Amino acid sequence: MSLLLFFDFYRLIEFNAIFAPTYAQALASPNLAYLIPRDPTTGRVTYYVQQFVNTQRQYSTGYDVSLDYRLATAVGRFNLHAGGTVVNHLMLPFLLGGPLVEYSGFANSGGVIKTKANASLSWLVGKHWTLGWNTHYWDSYKQQGSPSDPQYNGAKTYTPVTTQLLPQGGASAINGISIPAQVYHNMFATYAFGNTPKWHRFLEGTTIQVGINDVFNTAPPFDANSAYAPFYYSPYGNVLLRTYLVKITKDF
């Protein structure tokens, strides 16, 4: 039996970070006016130049946790692995030279999901068989336009951007709405031939795996973000739902 447990706290600070402004950010940043030249007569933008620039700084803090447990028994060896990450803060500038704003929990606004985790359990039976199960967890995340969205640049008073909020939840979503947390399960069985008798030596080094992804046929939640058109489902799930796989590999 063996047990390994790791817990790490991180704080990453980056100075002169590379910043890739979107069109909307360039439009709102006086320091980036050179990326969006305007017609001197009409004042309309004539074109947009995508260009990386350096911003002042950005930082991120969070936790990484992992656990590995192995147990040998009379019926085989069991391996358990679990891990997760919590992003407490991902502070980035929305505008060049602007304040740092929170991107953790705003995955649809260029940020990240605050918490994600996975766990897998495998059972090695004899010399050839391995049976396994793994689970993935994705935390809920705010729909773009919710209060404290990075696009509001930290302002306490602002006009809500409802492009994604209204389709996500109607008028009730004006005060913010989240896409629900998601959990998906997969299972698999693997047979490794390894060193084989002479009569079927051609199978030596061959591994056959069969599996089921999304065992419980869990549909990804609706996500009204325009980036996910035309199906509008959260990218952390699979619209194909439960799928079956057969995989054959051979080592030479």
- The one-digit pLDDT tens for each residue of the chain (252 residues) are 899 999 999 999 999 888 888 887 888 788 888 888 888 888 888 888 888 888 888 999 999 999 999 999 999 999 999 999 999 999 999 888 889 999 999 999 999 999 999 999 999 998 889 999 999 999 999 999 999 999 999 998 999 888 999 899 876 666 778 999 999 999 999 998 876 666 566 777 789 999 999 999 999 999 999 889 899 999 999 999 999 999 998 877
Q: Which residues of 92-130 are buried (b: 16+ CB within 10 A; e: fewer)?
A: bbbbbebebbbbbbbbbbbbbbbbbbbbbbbbbeeeeeb
CB atoms within 10 A of CB 58: 19
Give the pTM: 0.85
Domain ranges of the chain: 2-17+55-250
Show the tokens assigned to 121: 């359990």
Identify the DSSP state of 169: H
CB atoms within 10 A of CB 236: 20
- Residue 143 CA to residue 164 CA, distance in Å, equals 7
Helices (H) and strands (E) in the chain, counts: 2, 13
- Residue 192 CA to residue 195 CA, distance in Å, equals 9
- Residue 233 CA to residue 114 CA, distance in Å, equals 19
Distances (CA, A) of 150 to 12, 66, 80, 108, 191: 19, 30, 38, 10, 49
Region of 45 (left: φ > 0; alpha: ψ -120 to 50; beta: rest) is beta
